[in-house]
Amino acid sequence: MPFQPPPSHPPRVPAHAPEDSHTLRLPSARKRGDVRALRAAYRGQRRTATFAALGYFLVFLLLAAFAPAALTGDVTAGLPLGMLLALLQLPVTWLAIALYEHTARRRVDPLVDRLRRGGATGARGEAGR
């Protein structure tokens, strides 16, 4: 195939791309505010779960680094505090997951549902144009 020089100007892109039924169109300012609220809810949700899981682990690491004698003391006969804290890491992680799911159901899911209802209403309104 012989070499063909590029066209002098880029190809024309249609002004109106075909709509995908899976995209969420958000033209109004109220909906943009809802998206901002949704982003803030997701951000808060991630921070809460992250601080719960990593905060506990950080405390454990700081104790190991700066107060190792405290971790060697027995809580009960034969169970040192360090071992107990290490064993509690898994339940604390489960708690962080449960907290993440709880905040999703309580704060994030209602915002998503509201956006979906508004997006479906907006799509029906635009289809009638």
b/e map 68-93, b = 16+ CB within 10 Å: eeebeeeeeeeeeebeebeeeeeebb
Q: Is the pLDDT of residue 33 over 60?
A: yes
> CB-based contacts of 89: which residues, under 8 Å, 6+ apart?
56, 57, 60
Which residue would you say has higher pLDDT here, 40 or 118?
A: 40
Q: Mean pLDDT score of the chain, rounded to an integer?
A: 77
- Quick check: 123 pLDDT over 70? no
Identify the residue with better confidence: 88 or 7: 88
Kindly indicate the confidence band of residue 26, based on its pLDDT and cuts at 50, 70 and 90: very low
Distance of alpha carbon 28 from alpha carbon 107, whole angstroms: 22
